[in-house]
Amino acid sequence: MKIPDLKKKMMESEVWKSIFRHGYEDTPRNRALMIMGNVFLHLHPVRIPRHALRLSFTWGMGGITFTMFLVTVATGIFLMLYYRPTAEYAYQDMKYLMHDVPFGPLIRNMHRWAAHGMVICVWLHMFRVFLTGSYKPPREFNWIIGVLLLVLTLLLSFTGYLLPWDQLSIWAVTVGSNMARASPFLGHEGPFAEFVGANPIYDARAFLFGGGEIGPHTLLRFYILHCIFIPLVASLLMAIHFWRIRRDSFSGPSL
């Protein structure tokens, strides 16, 4: 049997047809099916305004931010294989990753730089959306989702900052978390703390740390927030964010 015959037979088999609903014919119908028939692509509209494709309009920042997120997810899973979130092992595992694991340094560096890149790109994305006024009706709510995603991006990066368990991590997180200690009412060093009885082991920062100061409990807490909770919430909001672009259509001058 020749290759083309084999290909034809394969593509007409029941199994193939059960997986792939349509081929690659270059017809408007098929182009629409390509988007609608795909769970990931269907978050896009089937057709978009020509100007929304231009990089000079979008700067590509939303897409780049999402790409960075996917990179951190993929590299993050790899890192989880070699990392134990306990004070005894965390730092040793980092050393192991950086010196003995094949491609360990590359994966960790990618994870780190993609996370930083994500923060920068999400800010630039916000600036671009502001400049093009793309938050104006009917897209007000998507801007709010975007602000929440910006906050979650910062929190993702911040919780990940602690995990290497080196001097840089714990002191940066200490400084960054001291604001929780200073919250009015809820932090033991904040105004009016005495009225609610907040103290060093029972206040907003202790809730975040799982204790009065950074320790093994904090590491586990940040690990779970970093690897499970925040990514889940962020993914959910991203799905809404993209879906909303489709529902409300790309912004552009009204015709």
Partner 1 sequence: MAETAQEKRKPSMVDDKIYTWPHLVRMEFLLTIFVMVVLIIWAVVIDAPLEEPANPTRTPNPSKAPWYFLGLQEMLVYFDPWHAGVVLPTLIIVGLMMIPFIDINPKGNGYYTFKDRKYEILTFILGFHVLWVSMIIIGTFFRGPGWNLFWPWQRWDPHKVVALTNVDLPYLFGFRDYLWSSVFGGLVVVGYFVVSTLAFYLWIRRVKGKEFLERWGMVRFAITAFLFITMLALPAKMFLRLAFNVKYILVTPWFNI
Site for partner 1 in 119-148 (CB under 8 A): 119, 123, 126-127, 130-137, 139-140, 143-144, 147
> What is the spatial distance between Cα 76 and Cα 186, in angstroms, rounded to a whole number?
33
Site mask for partner 1 (CB under 8 A), range 169-188, x = bound: xxxx-xxx-xxxxxxx--x-
Q: How many CB atoms lie within 10 A of CB 139?
A: 21
Half-sphere exposure of 242 (CA within 13 A, CB side): 16
Number of residues near partner 1 (by CB under 8 A): 96
Identity of residue 33: L
> What is the spatial distance between Cα 193 and Cα 179, in angstroms, rounded to a whole number?
14
Binder of partner 1 out of 10, 11, 32, 224 (CB under 8 A):
32
> What is the spatial distance between Cα 170 and Cα 175, in angstroms, rounded to a whole number?
9
Binder of partner 1 out of 10, 105, 201, 228 (CB under 8 A):
105
Binder of partner 1 out of 46, 73, 101, 220 (CB under 8 A):
46
149 binds partner 1 per the rule CB under 8 A:
no
- Minimum CB separation of residue 54 from partner 1 in Å reads 9
163 or 227, CB closer to partner 1? 163
Binder of partner 1 out of 6, 80, 151, 228 (CB under 8 A):
151
Show contacts with partner 1 in window 77-96 (CB under 8 A): 87, 91, 94-95
> What is the spatial distance between Cα 81 and Cα 223, in angstroms, rounded to a whole number?
13
Check: CB of residue 145 under 8 Å from CB of residue 239.
no
- Minimum CB separation of residue 22 from partner 1 in Å reads 11
Binder of partner 1 out of 31, 84, 217, 247 (CB under 8 A):
31
161 binds partner 1 per the rule CB under 8 A:
yes
Greatest extent of the chain over all pairs of C-alpha atoms, in Å: 85
Show contacts with partner 1 in window 217-246 (CB under 8 A): none
Question: Exposed e or buried b for every residue in 220-238, given b needs 16+ CB within 10 A?
Answer: ebbbebbbeebbebbeeeb
> What is the spatial distance between Cα 149 and Cα 222, in angstroms, rounded to a whole number?
18
**119's tokens:** 């923060």
Show contacts with partner 1 in window 190-219 (CB under 8 A): 190-192, 213-215
Half-sphere exposure of 229 (CA within 13 A, CB side): 11
Identity of residue 208: L
- Minimum CB separation of residue 160 from partner 1 in Å reads 9
- Minimum CB separation of residue 156 from partner 1 in Å reads 11
117 binds partner 1 per the rule CB under 8 A:
yes
Binder of partner 1 out of 2, 56, 100, 102 (CB under 8 A):
56
Identity of residue 134: S
7 or 54, CB closer to partner 1? 54
Check: CB of residue 91 under 8 Å from CB of residue 164.
yes
- Minimum CB separation of residue 237 from partner 1 in Å reads 13
